[in-house]
Structure 1
Amino acid sequence: MTVAGATEPDSNPPEVQVPGIAVRADRALQITPYLWAAELYGRISPFRRGPTIGVDKPFSEVLDSLKFGGFIDVWARSGRYVLSGDLAYVDTKENKSFGPLPGIGPLPPGIHGAGRVDSKLFTATLLGGYRVVDTPDWTLDALAGLRVWHVSNKVRVSALEQSRSYKESFGWAEPVLGVRAFTNLSDQLSMQAQANIGGMGIGSRFAWSAQATMNYIINKNFSISAGYKVLDVNYNRNEHVYDTRLHGPVLGLTYRF
């Protein structure tokens, strides 16, 4: 999912002037690392035969439990053919209180295990497509591809004078269909919007994502963008539940080759 907007003017002539920059209209390549101040809410069952946990975390709580987070987007175009890649990795830790857990067994009524949970989420989206609208004012790309999810959880608990660790992971892949629109507002300012849907019973029950950004050209190589991003997924298979929504503002820095 593209976070920072392309700065290509997207017109038909082979070369277009952008504030002192000659940009080839037939080719583009850019890489965007970005920050995502996301809130998280939904339902998660990280372990088979474990409880389903309701989650409602503002960004401040997500930040408190964050060990590492990394987000990067890649966008390329050759003529009317386009390619989009998005990678996200989040590693968190949190102290929790639990009832029955795999590897420890059911606990007597009133007895709970206390410990730490380390959770890792990785998603990778790869989309290819075709530019169906290509004018000097705006462009529209039709996209299709694949999104891969991997969720890993490790818990260390102490209960009934026992201390144990247990790790479990699950993942899936799903098809994705999307569109991306881009328009220049001025010589240095542009706007971009992208949306996609996925899963539809293959992988997750359903997943969707949407975002919009305003983008500003700094110079011939760099631009910055700011906007809002939502990622929603409903996965429920083999006793694993990952029914969540991540949403919040994004801030990206784009490097153009």
Structure 2
Amino acid sequence: MWAAGLDGHISPFRRGPTIGVEKSFSDVMDDLNFGGFINVWGRYDRFVVSGDIMYVNTTDSHGVGPLPALTIPGVGGIPPGGNIDAKVDTTQFTATLMGGYRVVDTPQITLDALGGARFWHISNDVTLTGSLGGLSGSVHHDESFGWVDPLVGLRAFLPVTEKLSVQAQVDIGGFGAGSDFTWSALATANYAFSDSFAASVGYKVLDVDYGHDGHVYDTRLSGPVLGLTYRF
């Protein structure tokens, strides 16, 4: 579980303005339809592979009204008392795949050098509904965009006791090939209940600065993580 809040600036539509977004984890949960995050790690000898997938779907609704009298060019005057309701459905999907080599392998610490890519896909669906008296009408617009960021990174694992350990993984990427720049960091403390099961608690940050073809997605997801690991 990643209890992430969202902070940044986005322009989800090519012709739309850039707006500031600041949502705590509780705000995100209020709007959440479905979300999931999974991380997989594998090793054979000194060769390693790391992958994670995140999917989040939220719906945010706002209403404005009753409105004063309006004059819209090409339409004419609209009497007072109208209402406008807006519903925004947003989907964010990221998938990261990295492979590498264990450059340090000792009983005191292991260190892995990593390289790979992160795929992003952002989708926004907006519905505006206007009503006046017993009359109503709605307009709908949807738009999506995506990109791929090359990545390099490191992962370290440090045993503290026989059952307690600390691990950290960081990566940087983008370099103008996808986003201008992106980075992520995950640090956890882990307790092994057995050879197969362990529990982890820590903190994760995922930051990206993307701007292309009128779309802007300059955001940071950050918050505590809580997880269970199965090892086989």
Q: Which amino acid aligns with 2:26?
A: S
CA apart distance, 1:112: 8.9
Equivalent residue for 1:138?
109
Query: TM-score w.r.t. structure 1 length?
Result: 0.79
Q: Which moved more, 1:78-87 or 1:217-226?
A: 217-226
CA apart distance, 1:219: 1.6
Separation of aligned partners in 1, 2:60 and 2:10: 14
Equivalent residue for 1:89?
55
Q: What whole-Å deviation, never above 9, does each CA across 1:182-226 have from its counterpart, x for those lacking one?
A: 010001000001110010101101000112100011122211100
Which residue of the other structure, out of 207, 214, 223, is the alignment partner of 2:198?
A: 223
Max radius of gyration: which structure? 2
Instruction: Say yes or no: does 1:38 pair with 2:4.
Output: yes
SS of equivalent residue, structure 1 residue 62: helix
Q: Which amino acid aligns with 2:121?
A: H
Which residue of the other structure, out of 2, 5, 20, is the alignment partner of 1:54?
A: 20
Query: TM-score w.r.t. structure 2 length?
Result: 0.88
Which residue of the other structure, out of 127, 135, 148, is the alignment partner of 2:98?
A: 127
> Which segments of 5 or more consecutive residues in structure 1 lack a partner in the other structure?
1-34, 99-105
Q: How does 1:1-257 map to 2 (within 5 A)?
A: 35-96=1-62, 113-159=84-130, 162-257=137-232
How much identity, in percent, do the aligned residues show?
58
Q: Which amino acid aligns with 2:125?
A: K
Q: Which amino acid aligns with 1:119?
A: T
CA apart distance, 1:96: 3.7
SS of equivalent residue, structure 2 residue 13: coil
Separation of aligned partners in 1, 2:193 and 2:93: 31
Q: Which moved more, 1:167-176 or 1:44-53?
A: 44-53
Distance 1:48 1:184, change over 3 A: same
The structure, 1 or 2, with the larger RCO (C-alpha pairs under 8 Å, 6+ apart) is 1
Question: What's the Cα RMSD here?
Answer: 2.0
